Amino acid sequence: MKMLINVAETVVADALRGMAAAHPELTVDVENRVIVRADAPVAGKVALVSGGGSGHEPLHGGFVGPGMLSAACPGEVFTSPVPDQMVRAAAAVDSGAGVLFIVKNYTGDVLNFDMAAELAEDEGVQVAKVLVDDDVAVTDSLYTAGRRGTGATLFVEKLAGAAADAGMPLERVEAVARRVNAGARSFGVALTACTTPAKGSPTFDLPAGELELGVGIHGEPGRERRPMMTSREIADFAVNAVLEDLNPRDPVLLLVNGMGGTPLLELYGFNAEVQRLLVERGVPVARTLVGNYVTSLDMAGASVTLCQVDEELLRLWDAPVRTPALRWGV
């Protein structure tokens, strides 16, 4: 496979150096693998720290900045960051108002963030944790006990980030994050496998004429494989899977997310089918985001995430945000 890299061993460090050069509003510690907003700590403000394996960009480093995360900890490709990174990030951004860890539900991430929370608290940092587990495709997977954390991570980071910027205390910011996760569901579809730099070839076997329904963001198996379907058929399956588990009583935020290898031309066409279905099902869409936000390297495919929002959450969504990957109102 052709890849725009030097060697697999330095791909994350090289990317971090490039990110630092492109975004002087961030402080990027390449050696210790921590990305921090340059104005941190912000006096009196709750800080948000997240992280996970690299390969899902712009998640999480692309969401560091005013209105979202205070810091992010990138691990190696598809590998959890280590507790030392998280403790270093928490210390860098804590203003005394406390730190919220936002953790996707993968076993390595959960264990390492739990350990980091204990270590940070030993150093006098008040820490709360929120687990994101929005994927309805499978109950348990190769890397999780319970549902996987996927597209709803963006909604949790944005809405909790806005709550923190509004001056809410740690308990309220945590409550917002938990409410967002509880009201969000996702379902993903893979048209091709992804390729890690270390392996240099597809991470799993997906024949050219088939797709994986319910794939995870590391290429974990989903519900089933089927012969290739049309955009309309895939939207039907994904939206129905989400709505079987989520019965929205309020309007929703909609994320039509690319997995890294699908062009916007296809994603916008897919969004048209998703929107058609939601209209037919009587689900009002308050806001829509289309693009590659929670990716799986070069995987072709898409995911659908719905998140119920009331007036407060919608105000938090519309609040200004200024990060490398998400920016409005500023």
Task: Judge whether 106 and 143 are in contact, CB under 8 Å.
Answer: yes
Six token digits for residue 183: 């009201």
Beta bridge partners of 244: none
The verdict on whether 60 is a catalytic residue reads no
In the set 56, 60, 88, 179, the catalytic residue is 56
C-alpha dist (Å) from residue 77 to 24, 49, 123, 140, 175:
24, 19, 29, 22, 31
Q: Is 23 a catalytic residue?
A: no
CA angle 280, 246, 177 (to 5 degrees): 125
CA distance 199 to 193: 12
Find the length of the chain. 330
Rounded-to-integer distance, Cα 320 and Cα 317, Å: 8
CA 294 to chain centre: 5
In sequence order, what are the residues at sequence separation of 6 or more whose Cβ sits closer than 8 angstroms to the Cβ of residue 236? 273, 277
Distance, in Å, from the CA atom of 262 to the CA atom of 213, rounded to the nearest integer, reads 16
Residue 244: is it exposed, middle or buried by C-beta count within 10 angstroms (0-12/13-18/19+)?
exposed
Distance of CA 136 to the CA centre of its chain: 15
CA distance 150 to 294: 7
Q: By the 8 A CB rule, do 306 and 252 touch?
A: yes
User: Does a cis peptide bond (omega within 30 degrees of 0) precede residue 58?
Assistant: yes
Single out the catalytic residue among 82, 120, 218, 274.
Answer: 218
Q: Report the side by side order of strands in the sheet with 184-190.
A: 224-227, 210-213, 184-190, 301-308, 252-258, 285-291
User: What's the sign of the alpha-carbon dihedral 97, 88, 104, 42?
Assistant: positive
Q: Which residues are catalytic?
A: 56, 218
